[in-house]
Amino acid sequence: MKTLWLALCALSRLWPGTLAGCTEAGRCCPGRDPACFARGWRLDRVYGTCFCDQACRLTGDCCFDYARACPARPCIVGEWSPWSGCANQCKPTARVRRRLVQQEPQNGGTPCPPLEERAGCMEYSTPQGQGCGHAFVPAFITTSAFNKERTRQVTSPQWSTDTEDPGYCMEFRTESLSHHCAMENRPLTRWMQYLREGYTVCVDCQPPAMNSVSLRCSGDGLDSDGNQTLHWQAIGNPRCQGTWKKVRRVDQCSCPAVHSFIFI
């Protein structure tokens, strides 16, 4: 390129006007613009019509001085704004932050990065300070076989040592689950293999998983209606997770052993 430039400079001394290009024409155009041309030497060493538009880099018909006359300028953006609040209270939603363009890209410069980012969020209280949104908390579950190791006589300091609470059972219909559940083959997590979509499962809520004040288990979905999609996650493999919908609350669970679980 330097050799070509020196040769063109020599020609300009012999024949004035031969170096006419983008600089002399005062042209630099975005995109493809057939009207953005000049007379002069092209980069492929052909003299005649040459172009000063951004697309000439692709078509190879730029004027010899395009790179100097029309330098690439990257997009420049400002700092991110603070995150907005959650769009709604008491249910999963999104928060947003944005940034502004300070300089548009020119002449094939680096394009602008994303100007908006969204992230999931949820607020668990109303503007009046009342608790809400607990139906959306994921349920953490494990096999009901674990309950054989957990006595009904609760020893948690939050519960009286002579109190035996019967708890309750929640029935759900599974909607979806990740493929990681079927891949589990470890002795203590093999129960995840039996999780299937479209089945009714039972989840027992008992102390110490049961809150001593509300007498409920986190993620039990008791406040939800039958159309609300709820989330669950298996203890022992956080990648084994999915969704289900509440069927009903009953006093005692009656599902088959492979479809019986407990809240943790």
Per-residue pLDDT of the chain (264 residues; tens, 9 = 90+): 455 545 555 554 444 445 678 988 888 888 889 999 998 888 888 888 999 998 888 888 899 999 888 898 899 999 999 988 877 777 667 788 999 999 999 887 899 999 998 876 767 667 776 666 665 678 889 888 776 555 444 444 554 544 456 789 999 999 999 999 988 887 778 899 889 999 999 999 988 888 888 888 888 988 888 888 899 998 888 889 999 999 999 999 999 999 999 998
Integer Rg of the chain from CA: 34
Instruction: Look up residue 21 and give its two tokens.
Output: 């290009």
The pLDDT score that the predictor gives to residue 136 is 63
Q: In the chain, where does DSSP find H-type helix? A: 2-14, 22-25, 56-59, 66-69
Beta strands in the chain (DSSP E): 37-41, 47-51, 76-77, 93-98, 101-103, 116-121, 139-143, 168-177, 200-205, 229-234, 241-250, 260-263
Widest CA span of the chain, in angstroms?
109
The pLDDT score that the predictor gives to residue 165 is 60
